[in-house]
Amino acid sequence: MKVLMEVLTRRFKGTTIHERIMTVLTAWTQQGLNSFQMLRAKLRMGE
- Note the pLDDT tens digit of each residue in 6-26: 777 878 788 888 899 999 999
* Beta-carbon-side half-sphere exposure of residue 30 (alpha carbons within 13 Å): 6
**Confidence class of residue 41 from pLDDT cuts 50, 70 and 90?**
very high
How far is it, in rounded angstroms, from Cα 47 to Cα 38? 15
Average pLDDT over residues 21-46: 93
Has residue 47 got a pLDDT over 60?
no
Task: Tell me how many domains the chain contains.
Answer: 1
Q: Would you say 28 and 38 are in contact if contact means Cβ atoms under 8 Å apart?
A: yes
Domain holding 34, by residue range, is 1-45
Q: Is pLDDT of 31 > 90?
A: yes
Residues listed for the chain: 47
Q: In the prediction, which pLDDT does 14 show?
A: 80
Q: How much is the mean pLDDT over the chain?
A: 87
SS3 state at 19: helix
| Cα radius of gyration rounded to whole Å, the chain | 15
